[in-house]
Amino acid sequence: MKKRLFIGTKVRLDELDKVRKEITSFGIEGKWVEEENLHFTYRFLGDFEEEKIPPLILSLKGKLKLCRAPEVVYRGVGFFEKKGIPRVFFVRVESEGIQRIKNAVDQALLPFGYPLDKEFVPHVTLLRIKRFRRATKFKSYVHRMKDFVFGEGKVNVVTLFESKLTSQGPIYTAVEEFHLD
């Protein structure tokens, strides 16, 4: 049996209602991430054999115990494009220490056949865009919000999540939590 897994950190952000109203006013439509599901991902594992989860937890625990809890600032917004059209709208995650956690996660995954990730862009997805209009207003908004701080703090927990896809949206369940000092 397999479980759909990812490794991430849950996030709480301020001022999201204001952002949602403004983006919606531009005629942009899509699926907003529920507040309880806000997170940033170190690594998406996809379907993972259940019997390999205990050794994965041990490997992650061994690598992450060497990491300190880094300071993080959630600042500014951005988007990922597909064929020149914004498809994912997000908040940027700024932190020098996040890369050390990402490296530890990648090292823990090597024995399970996951190669090192080449590119890591820490972000918190807010909206998966389905219909995009008013590009000028949207890009102006992204520029205007480049220094807006949605929150800050320490990343004290890295979580191995199971993700179950439902018609109402994904349900994330913590399989194991790794606490950082």
Residues with active-site annotation: 39, 123
- Rounded to the nearest angstrom, the gap between the alpha carbon of residue 82 and the centroid of all alpha carbons in its chain is 19
Task: Provide the token pair at 149.
Answer: 């701080």
- Residue tagged 């908004």 (tokens): 141
Count Cβ atoms within 10 A of the Cβ of residue 72 and give its class: 0-12 exposed, 13-18 middle, 19 or more buried: buried
Distance (Å, whole) CA 129 – CA 28: 7
Task: Provide the token pair at 175.
Answer: 């399989």
List alpha helices for the chain, DSSP H.
16-25, 53-64, 98-109, 135-144
